[in-house]
Structure 1
Amino acid sequence: MKKLAAFLLAALMAVSATACSSGAASSSEASSEASGQAASAAGSSSAAATNYKVLMVTDTGGVNDQSFNQLSWKGLQQLEKDVPGAKANYSESKQESDYATNLDKAADDGNQLIWGVGYAMAGALQNAAQQNPDIGYAIIDNAYETVPSNVTCVVFRAQEPSFLVGYIAGKTTKTNKVGFVGGQKSDVIDQFEYGYKAGVAYAAKELNKNIDVVSQYAESFVDSAKGKAIAKSMYSGGCDIVFHAAGGVGVGVIEAAKEANKYAIGVDMDQAFLAPDNVLTSALKRVDKAVEQVSKDAIDGKEIGGKTYSLGLTEDGVGIPEEHKLMGDDTYNAAMALEQKIKDKEIVPPASKDDYDAFVKTLK
């Protein structure tokens, strides 16, 4: 995997405070000067970290969801290794009513920085931040219209890697029918769905053929059995590739792919380890690197409160795995060429239905 820490820090330093709605934020490119500053600052946290306590509160997917909760915890575990004196912990939420309770307990236990993982925690975390203005808070996958001064928001332009995996699906499908399984409908999951559909449409245009995309939501991020049932139905209905953006539900999607000897596309982390012969690729969100770096910035006393950081391909905050044995060199290299076009803003992947409809019109 690419070495990301210094570049991510540069990106975070370069992004200005942004007012935006859930799941969407603007970003600015890091300068070469900022990159140099990042490289020199990467090891500066240890002096400020004496007994610095950081805790993350998971959403209902839990810390072993094979997705972004697990990645967030990986980032904090790495923080403990890299920064002597930093102490990391987590609280698992079994149901949404646990969010407020876990956030209150985290404050009572003397944590200086408290992470909320997932947009579903937005209301509870905002209330906790208002009640505890001397404590720092951070949240993954949510941005507030007005960001509280003691809150840091980290969002990812998930439509960008989703476009790439959609393109790969379109180039790879033999049945000209592919699927998408979402967890629960939201602006965040829209980024995955419509970015993916746009990538499929782009490949279809390039190949001069029609490719159908079937979408279904599980109304859950934890019910792997439901994910497996949905995917089995898609495979039996003619889909040969299914992309999921559904947390633990996606584990069932990958199990179905393995049983049907079809392809699945993973999300957030490289999920090929779950089925090496069936996970075609994954739409990565490098949540672990972002959590670790923002936590280091907090320890160093940097002014990160009241800001929203948006990470995409340009900031190396999202992407696809380098391993590509199942798709072959030609398809992978074509996807990398598209990645560069996205970085150069020649292609702007859609993050919503309206944007998708407008994008598709440009392909006709």
Structure 2
Amino acid sequence: MRRLSTYGVALATCGLILTACGTAADDNDSDNDAAAAECETVQLEGDPQVGLAYDVGGRGDQSFNDSAYAGLTQAVSEFGIAEVTEGEAGQDESEDIREERLRTFADSGHNVIVGVGFAYSEAVDTVAPDYPNVAFAVIDGFDPTEDDVNCNVAYLGFAENEGSFLVGAAAALQSQTGTIGFVGGVNNTLIQKFEAGYAAGAEAVNPDINILTTYIEESDPAGFGDPAGGQAAAEGQYADGADIVFHAAGFSGTGVFDAAVAADKLAIGVDSDQFLTAGPEQAQHIITSMLKRVDTATYEFIASAVNGEPDQGFTTFTLADDGVGYSTSGNFLTPETIAALEDYKAQIIAGDIEVPTQP
């Protein structure tokens, strides 16, 4: 059942520069990195054969999954990979089904397998030990066991908070009403990183900015595949005075864009440059997108396997290595806004601004 939980964001709680707003997983990540360093290189059997398991929404979501597909396409073209199989998560599917999808890939000879989305973390950690000569990766992956990481798994994460800071600043700089919105697909720690960065960036520009936040679902991944839920969430925020809404909701974001068209307001995309993938009517309302280079992560993991040294352990893609960023397609952002964003970007990379990961 869809649930819309809406509230105003109190931005003064943490402030702009936070050293005390880290997550409890920080220490565990350090331990897991040390464990991964002791792992031997995964030895693939035969030529690389790739299995790509999409999250809810699948290929065609104009966002997260399509970005992974772009990375896959680049790798196939560059390395001449002959065998590729794709699979897609369904709404409300169980861990058993995700595990079965991964095992089907491995049992059919696929030795490079990528789970697209955090929802595959537990399934990958369960399946990977049974296939030591298969290289697994999870986009946005985490080690659910909080124990030693599996040596044949790469957990590929992003500093979503850093990229979201920049689009939050862009929203505040170009808002005419002083009220902006955020729509998240699922209310979990990952999507909260988008919210936290967005709020911090907006507050850096305007400490009095009003931010409306709505999560489509509290825990159900179906929140990423619910355009009607995204549209309802954005409609409520536009009605409450927001003139720009940023979504981190996967395929549900298409509903946010529909709401922007209907209200003649503005929106911010996520993951890929959604100005380039949305329909022509929607595109005229997308002023920027928070770029999360899932394509780069997917490509680089496959490339590492092709080169005989599959990535292992934890990798985080940040502003410093262009793992996250913002788009300028459509020329909606003014030169003054872009200059300000580039200044914020430089400060984040230099460590002068530490962007929070929790709202």
AA in 2 matched with 1:186? N
Partner of 1:128: 127
Q: Does 1:292 align with 2:290?
A: no
Q: Give yes or no for contact 1:183–1:245 (8 Å, CA) kept in 2.
A: yes
1:89 to partner: Cα distance: 2.4
Identity across the alignment (%)? 36
Partner of 1:157: 159
How far apart in 2 are the matches of 1:345 and 1:93? 38
1:117-153 deviation digits (Å, cap 9, x = unpaired): 1111111111110222221100000222432101011
Q: Does 1:106 align with 2:105?
A: yes
Partner of 1:187: 189
Distance 1:55 1:271, change over 3 A: same
Determine helix, strand or coil for the equivalent of 2:102. Answer: helix
CA RMSD of aligned residues (A): 1.9
How far apart in 2 are the matches of 1:303 and 1:214? 42
Distance 1:168 1:91, change over 3 A: same
AA in 1 matched with 2:242? C
Q: Give yes or no for contact 2:118–2:139 (8 Å, CA) kept in 1.
A: yes
How far apart in 2 are the matches of 1:76 and 1:127? 24
AA in 2 matched with 1:218? I
Determine helix, strand or coil for the equivalent of 1:248. Answer: helix
AA in 2 matched with 1:112? N
Determine helix, strand or coil for the equivalent of 1:314. Answer: helix
How far apart in 1 are the matches of 2:123 and 2:46? 29
Gaps of 5+ in 2: 1-23, 31-43, 218-222
Partner of 1:118: 117
How far apart in 2 are the matches of 1:265 and 1:171? 13
Partner of 2:213: 215
Q: Give yes or no for contact 1:49–1:86 (8 Å, CA) kept in 2.
A: no
AA in 1 matched with 2:179? K
Candidates 239, 242, 258, aligned match of 1:239:
242
How far apart in 2 are the matches of 1:204 and 1:130? 50
Q: Does 1:230 align with 2:236?
A: no
AA in 2 matched with 1:348? E
Q: Give yes or no for contact 2:45–2:111 (8 Å, CA) kept in 1.
A: no
1:329-357 deviation digits (Å, cap 9, x = unpaired): 1111110111111111111111113xxxx
Candidates 281, 286, 307, aligned match of 2:288:
281
How far apart in 2 are the matches of 1:324 and 1:331? 14
How far apart in 1 are the matches of 2:68 and 2:304? 16
Q: Does 1:335 align with 2:331?
A: no
Q: Give yes or no for contact 2:45–2:133 (8 Å, CA) kept in 1.
A: no
How far apart in 1 are the matches of 2:65 and 2:81? 23
How far apart in 2 are the matches of 1:125 and 1:105? 13
Determine helix, strand or coil for the equivalent of 2:270. Answer: strand
Distance 1:132 1:196, change over 3 A: same
How far apart in 2 are the matches of 1:303 and 1:136? 6
Q: Does 1:318 align with 2:320?
A: no
Q: Quick check: 341-350 or 270-279, which moved more?
A: 270-279
Q: TM-score, normalised by structure 2?
A: 0.82
Determine helix, strand or coil for the equivalent of 2:49. Answer: strand
How far apart in 2 are the matches of 1:332 and 1:163? 13
Q: Quick check: 48-57 or 230-239, which moved more?
A: 48-57
1:322 to partner: Cα distance: 3.5
1:167 to partner: Cα distance: 0.4
Partner of 2:13: none
Q: Give yes or no for contact 2:302–2:310 (8 Å, CA) kept in 1.
A: no
How far apart in 1 are the matches of 2:81 and 2:195? 41
AA in 2 matched with 1:74? A
How far apart in 1 are the matches of 2:25 and 2:140? 11
Q: Give yes or no for contact 1:59–1:99 (8 Å, CA) kept in 2.
A: no
1:282 to partner: Cα distance: 0.6
Distance 1:79 1:183, change over 3 A: same
Gaps of 5+ in 1: 1-19, 27-47, 354-364
Q: Does 1:77 align with 2:73?
A: yes
Partner of 1:349: 355
| Number of residue-to-residue matches in the alignment | 307
Distance 1:49 1:106, change over 3 A: closer
Q: Give yes or no for contact 2:275–2:329 (8 Å, CA) kept in 1.
A: no
Q: Give yes or no for contact 1:138–1:154 (8 Å, CA) kept in 2.
A: yes
Partner of 1:200: 202
1:50 to partner: Cα distance: 7.4
